């Protein structure tokens, strides 16, 4: 396709809308104190916690998102599209609404909170709450990746494998899953990036304590109050990580998409 | 050719839209006064502003509430504002030093222990907060309410071990009201705006007293300055003092 020239100005405007604020952020960094700021005890604790929890959340998205995406792809029952919409809702929910929903589900007085407490499990204010919040917002990315990839397949190979006597589990494991690998890579990386940036649900549901629940986005939010320079520096680190992740993912997406 | 024309048109339209938003109200009879104020003043300042509008019919007071440091940042970045009221003196000093303005303290606030309705953890005094089984939520020391909390804890001689340090009072209050936390420390004036919570008086509250300063910001025109000064005077008036006292604020 040749790009119609009249689209160019709008495309440029769109690119500027995103790029200019990011450049403006970078322009406010006090480069002289950048390194001490991003390696302060609080910053390192927050970054470390963010990376650890985001890795666990991405893994949970893989374990839960692949079966869920496959199930939604096969779903033929009435209300299947509603089920899909519910699963994808965290994509468009304001994060703080997600946080409230999590509190009302897993909180002490929540739907499941009493049961969990009876088993001696307290979730709010723990690192587990951070992982749950991150998984909640990141799972749709994995589900979408799996569903889209499955929809792009004809199902012919699966059908052939089935006629040769393979069980559905064997077909899924040996035929479908290997073909899905590039999509799974994309899904996991996007889920990881989304988990890394998670803010509102964590703040509402998990709280904010250094080393336990205060992830990098929460540290930025707090630093903004007393030390804007530190907030900007840590913000730039997150931008670099996010852009790096998306850049790496995109390289992987391209051959599949074309 | 077409591309260039449409690009120019779009940029032009956007510019028009932007200036339309930013254009100040030049008409004297319909003047807008923008007041940036700390979140904890939301209810009380809304009431004072309504009274002000009633006695100054040609003025429309626009209130914008946020955390004090956010407000300071907005003003220093050049947000079009006429008056700023913060919840602590340190933040106001940043603005005042930069813009050479004179703040006036118009209210004070003290901290209190807040617990969920029925006080399930049986909190009676500040030393009960250090119990290992008590899930305590306070403000982070980086924010004004957290700095005040630290002063109170020091005065009481206790080491607080919270399960969470929030960036503002509203989040502390939310976690207590929802029952997630057994106790929190918030301002006396916050109790009234939350449901499902009770206050337990803090004997050392005076150690963490917070002063609320207000200041008129240097405006673009003389008329605007007069209005901003008039609003500041209104907030410092006896009538406003009564409103502030009703909301639980102390009067300096």
- Residues 6+ away with beta carbon under 8 Å from A139: A60, A61, A64, A65, A68, A87, A90, A191
Answer yes or no: do B11 and A107 touch at CB < 8 A.
no
Query: Rounded CA gap, A5 and B220, in Å?
Result: 44
Which pLDDT does position A154 carry in this prediction?
Answer: 85
pTM of the model: 0.83
Q: By CA distance, what is B142's nearest residue in A?
A: A226
> Tens-digit pLDDT profile for chain A (258 aa)?
788 999 999 999 999 999 999 999 999 998 999 999 999 999 999 999 999 999 999 999 999 999 999 999 988 888 888 999 999 999 999 988 999 999 999 998 889 988 888 888 888 899 999 999 999 999 999 999 999 999 988 889 999 999 999 899 999 999 999 999 999 999 999 999 999 999 999 999 999 999 999 999 999 999 988 888 999 999 999 999 988 888 887 765 555 443
Residues 129-148 of B with CB under 8 A from A: 135, 137, 140, 142-143
Cβ distance B180 to A125 less than 8 Å, yes or no, reads: yes
Q: Give chain B's count of helices (H) and strands (E).
A: 9, 10
Partner A contacted by B177 (CB < 8 A): no
Cβ <8 Å between B163 and A209: yes
Which residues in chain B (73-112) have CB-CB distances under 8 A to chain A? 73
pLDDT at B27: 46
* Separation of alpha carbons A129 and A126, rounded Å: 5
> Does B1 score more than 50 pLDDT?
no
Q: Which of B3, B137, B143 sits opposite A9 (nearest CB)?
A: B3
Tens digit of each residue's pLDDT (9 = 90 or more) over B194-251: 889 999 999 999 999 999 999 999 875 556 777 899 999 999 999 999 999 999 999 9
């Amino acid at each position: 396709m040749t790009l119609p020239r009249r689209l160019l100005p709008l495309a440029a405007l769109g690119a500027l809308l995103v790029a200019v604020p990011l450049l403006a952020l970078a322009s406010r960094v006090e480069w002289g104190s950048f390194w001490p700021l991003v390696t302060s005890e609080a910053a390192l604790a927050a970054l470390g916690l963010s990376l650890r929890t985001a890795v666990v959340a991405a893994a949970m998205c893989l374990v839960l998102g692949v079966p869920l995406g496959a199930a939604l792809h096969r779903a033929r029952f009435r209300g299947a599209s509603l089920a899909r919409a519910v699963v994808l809702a965290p994509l468009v929910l304001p994060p703080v609404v997600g946080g409230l929903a999590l509190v009302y589900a897993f909180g002490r007085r929540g739907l499941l909170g009493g049961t969990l407490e009876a088993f001696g499990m307290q979730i709010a204010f723990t690192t587990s709450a951070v992982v749950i919040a991150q998984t909640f917002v990141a799972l749709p990315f994995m589900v979408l990746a799996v569903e889209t990839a499955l929809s792009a397949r004809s199902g012919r190979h699966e059908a052939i494998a089935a006629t040769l006597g393979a069980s559905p589990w064997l077909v899924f494991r040996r035929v479908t899953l290997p073909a899905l690998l590039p999509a799974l890579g994309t899904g996991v990386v996007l889920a990881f990036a989304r988990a890394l940036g998670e803010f509102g649900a964590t703040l509402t549901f998990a709280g904010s304590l250094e080393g336990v629940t205060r992830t990098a986005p929460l540290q930025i939010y707090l630093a903004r109050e007393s030390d804007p320079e530190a907030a900007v520096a840590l913000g730039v680190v997150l931008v670099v990580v996010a852009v790096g992740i998306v850049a790496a993912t995109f390289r992987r997406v391209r051959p599949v998409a074309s | 050719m077409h591309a260039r024309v449409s690009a120019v048109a779009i940029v032009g339209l956007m510019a028009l839209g932007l200036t339309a938003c930013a254009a100040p109200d030049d008409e004297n009879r319909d003047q807008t006064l923008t007041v940036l104020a700390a979140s904890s003043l939301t209810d009380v300042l809304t009431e004072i502003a309504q009274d002000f509008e009633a006695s100054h019919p040609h003025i429309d007071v626009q209130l914008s509430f946020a955390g004090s440091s956010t407000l300071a940042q907005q003003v220093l970045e050049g947000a079009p504002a006429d008056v700023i009221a913060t919840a602590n003196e340190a933040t106001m000093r940043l603005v005042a030093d930069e813009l050479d303005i004179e703040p006036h303290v118009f209210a004070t606030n003290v901290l209190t222990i807040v617990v969920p309705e029925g006080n399930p953890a049986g909190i009676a005094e500040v030393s009960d907060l250090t119990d290992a089984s008590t899930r305590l939520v306070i403000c982070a020391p980086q924010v004004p309410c957290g700095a005040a909390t630290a002063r109170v804890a020091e005065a009481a001689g206790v080491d607080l071990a919270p399960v969470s340090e929030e960036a503002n009072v509203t989040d502390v209050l939310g976690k207590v009201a929802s029952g997630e936390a057994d106790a929190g420390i918030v301002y006396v004036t916050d109790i009234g705006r939350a449901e499902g919570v009770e206050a337990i008086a803090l004997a050392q509250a005076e150690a963490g007293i917070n002063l609320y300063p207000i200041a008129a910001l240097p405006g673009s025109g003389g008329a605007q300055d007069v209005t901003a000064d008039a609003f500041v005077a209104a907030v410092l008036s006896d009538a406003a003092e009564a409103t502030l006292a009703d909301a639980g604020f102390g009067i300096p």
